[in-house]
Amino acid sequence: MQWAKSVVNELSAEWHPSRWFTATTFWFPFVISIVTIVAAVLARPLFDFIIGEDLLAEDLQVVGWVVALYFCIRIAKNADFPASTRVLMAILGLAVFFIIGEEISWGQRIFDFQTPAELVEQNRQGESNLHNIYGIQDVFSWAMFVVGGYGVGASWFAMKRYGSYESWSPLARTLAPHPILIPSFLLMFVWRSYRNFFEPPESLYYGVSEFGEITELALSSAFGLYAWRRWANPFAKSEMPALDIQDVQSS
């Protein structure tokens, strides 16, 4: 606990002027995990409301991804950012757009169109999306495992390589999330590690499998905050200024 408190104190000024906002960002994945686990044990209706189809966790996931997409687009269109950052954020934006489409089954729940017949039997939920198709579902599971591990590893490496966040290069700030977001990526990585390598007891299978909605909520929130931070940070919008010829002459 003391270690976590020192981390929050150290990163507070770099992440946001409000220490409350910094602490909330850091503790968010832990708090929602605890609340969900307690609800699963003591208040099943609340647990079902949190993780249910088209309910709290899923709706908030979409909000997080939409925020991420919005800032990806803004960065990709802004010439003040380095070309490498704009390209990478455009690619990320396309990936996020795909995730949003999958989350809302490409508008099926909005426009109420029928699932194509060829998907009904192949899709675990009988919906118009890819991530619930048997076989393909495993690909998405491992992709989430990689994303979670990458978020933790990239941020940790950048801290060791550059030190404080304000010292990170523009490219590093694009390739690695701010360290305050590590818990959100770590939650996905740990949970996906367990689900990918182990089979939960039958009595706990429903709760353990549905807990994935919480890890996805933490991940979507992390991407939304990451994209916002990459946009908002005044030190990261351009490369170091080029050396002016007058500077050379004056020296």
Structure tokens at 110: 């909005």
* Mean per-residue pLDDT, 163-168: 87
Q: What is the pLDDT of residue 244?
A: 41
Q: Judge whether 9 lies within some domain.
A: no
- Total domains in the fold of the chain: 1
Structure tokens at 30: 């832990």
Q: How confident is the model at residue 249 (pLDDT cuts 50, 70, 90)?
A: very low
The per-residue pLDDT for range 43-92, each reduced to its tens digit, is 999 999 999 888 999 999 999 999 999 999 999 999 889 899 999 999 99
d(CA 87, CA 89): 5
Q: Judge whether 141 lies within some domain.
A: yes
d(CA 85, CA 77): 11
Q: How confident is the model at residue 2 (pLDDT cuts 50, 70, 90)?
A: low
Q: What is the pLDDT of residue 105?
A: 77
User: For the packed helices 19-42 and 212-232, what is the interaxial angle rounded to 10 degrees?
Assistant: 170
More confident residue, 179 or 235: 179
Q: How confident is the model at residue 238 (pLDDT cuts 50, 70, 90)?
A: very low
Q: Judge whether 11 lies within some domain.
A: no
Q: Judge whether 106 lies within some domain.
A: yes
Q: What is the pLDDT of residue 17?
A: 76
Place of tokens 């169109």: 113
Q: What is the pLDDT of residue 155?
A: 95
Q: How confident is the model at residue 138 (pLDDT cuts 50, 70, 90)?
A: confident
Q: Judge whether 8 lies within some domain.
A: no
Q: Is the separation of the CB atoms in 66 and 220 below 8 Å?
A: no
**Domain of residue 88, residue span:** 17-237
pLDDT over threshold 80, residue 190: yes
Average per-residue pLDDT for the chain: 85
Q: Is the separation of the CB atoms in 105 and 112 below 8 Å?
A: no
pLDDT over threshold 70, residue 248: no
pLDDT over threshold 60, residue 243: no
Q: What is the pLDDT of residue 118?
A: 65
Q: How confident is the model at residue 113 (pLDDT cuts 50, 70, 90)?
A: low
- Select, from the ranges 111-120, 127-136, 197-206, the one with the highest average predicted confidence (pLDDT): 197-206
